[in-house]
Amino acid sequence: MPVSPRRATLATVAASAGVSVATVSKVLNGRSDVAPATRSLVQSLLQQHDYVAPSPRRTEATGVGTIEVQFDTDLTAYSAEIIQGAVEAGAEVGIGVVISIRRGRERTPGWVRSLISAGRRALIAVTSELTSAQLTALSRAHLPLVVIDPLNLPSVRVTSIGSTNFTGGFAATQHLLSLGHRRIAYLGGPASAACNQARLHGYRAAMEAEGVPVPPAYVQTGRFHYHDGMVTGAAVLDLAQAPTAIFAANDEMALGVMEAARARGLRIPEDLSVVGFDDTQLAPMASPPLTTVRQPLREMGGVALRTALRLAAGEKIDSHHVELATELIVRGSTAPASPASGASAP
């Protein structure tokens, strides 16, 4: 079995630079009483050795630190719900929550060093794509990680929080089938995203249970964005045999679908039924209000924060993956299939 490389220490870097451990510590802490040439050498060696400072322990001086909630993309209505839940949970226990957007430009050791030096007790990554190198760096620094709705899981030991995506996808599709629709399309997020795969499997399971075939063109992938809903919505609505109902993988995509339908003179729900996923604040404000699968986003943010604090305290957790229940919320964007639409299966 290969031996994991040991984390570099201050002594390792000091020996390489030919200086004292105290001098390396001064460079790390930004002290001014270090010669520029020495500072440059030490900083270079810190990077070469992939040095990551250990996570600060709880003391009277450092307090409990802060928890960072990190996103890889611009904030959305989905993000706002997660943040609200995390901040409220943090307030209950008196710990600060910092929100950040990481564009993936930083080198992995530098990224982890910045988290440690900022006093982070743990990291919560939301809909992020993590590499094995990033997981290794976080582990070496003893910085706990919790992932919400991960796009990928490079290790089964990563602690993640999600919802019952398969059940939600099944319920959304079953709802449309119960209204008499048979030509139902699924417009998803990234094909590799774990949550998207689960929702797609739920859709396919419901269609198969009813004996309804799914044409390949009825399944489209994009990103979880409004524009992608417009593009993929246009693609299926322009088919020779267009769907009478669409299940979109999130609310933003669903709103994009609704706009694509309007641009083609289609009425919702008279000509096209649309279901989303998440139940963000956008859903009840849509016109008509959006039928969607409620994903308990605020609760997910709160559970993630409390789990991160338990990991930071060295506690054992019962499961590395937690799924919270979804619920179908029926509003005005779905209706029985019109006989005139020819809603039979393709």
- Reported as a single tens digit per residue, the pLDDT across 181-236 is 999 999 999 998 889 999 999 999 999 999 999 999 999 999 999 999 999 999 99
d(CA 52, CA 61): 21
Max mean pLDDT among 65-79, 129-143, 242-256 falls in 242-256
What is the reported pLDDT for 129?
77
Q: Which CATH fold topology does 66-163+298-325 show? A: Rossmann fold (3.40.50)
Q: What is the token pair recorded at 1?
A: 């079995």
Closest listed residue to residue 251, CA positions, set 327, 187, 166, 181: 187
Greater pLDDT, 223 or 107:
223
CA 275 to chain centre: 21
Greater pLDDT, 153 or 223:
223
What is the reported pLDDT for 22?
77
What is the reported pLDDT for 1?
34
Instruction: Grade residue 58 by pLDDT with cuts at 50, 70 and 90.
Output: very low
Residue 57 has pLDDT above 70, yes or no: no
Contact 160, 320 (CB under 8 A): yes
Instruction: Grade residue 62 by pLDDT with cuts at 50, 70 and 90.
Output: very low
Residues paired with residue 284 on neighbouring β-strands, in sequence order: none
Residue 4 has pLDDT above 60, yes or no: no
- Reported as a single tens digit per residue, the pLDDT across 6-21 is 556 777 888 888 888 7
d(CA 133, CA 128): 14
d(CA 95, CA 68): 11
Task: Tell me what percent of the residues of the chain surpass a pLDDT of 90.
Answer: 60
d(CA 86, CA 217): 39
Mean pLDDT of the region 57-74: 67
Greater pLDDT, 71 or 131:
71
Tokens 């739920």 locate to 202
Residue 145 has pLDDT above 60, yes or no: yes
Q: Which CATH number fits domain 165-296+328-341: 3.40.50.720, 1.10.1200.10, 3.40.50.2300, 3.40.220.10?
A: 3.40.50.2300
Bridge-based pairing of strands 291-294 and 327-329 is antiparallel
Amino acid at residue number 5: P
Q: What is the token pair recorded at 129?
A: 């794509």
Bridge-based pairing of strands 321-324 and 145-148 is unpaired
Domain boundaries, the chain: 10-48, 66-163+298-325, 165-296+328-341
| Equal fold, 66-163+298-325 vs 165-296+328-341 | yes
What is the reported pLDDT for 59?
35
Mean pLDDT of the region 136-159: 83
- Reported as a single tens digit per residue, the pLDDT across 74-97 is 899 999 999 999 999 999 888 999
Q: What is the token pair recorded at 293?
A: 């699968």
Residue 30 has pLDDT above 70, yes or no: no
Residue 102 has pLDDT above 70, yes or no: yes
What residue spans of 160-296 are helical by DSSP H? 165-178, 194-209, 226-237, 251-263, 282-285
Please give the helix or strand (H or E) that residue 275 lies within, else none.
strand 273-278
- Reported as a single tens digit per residue, the pLDDT across 160-176 is 999 999 999 999 999 99
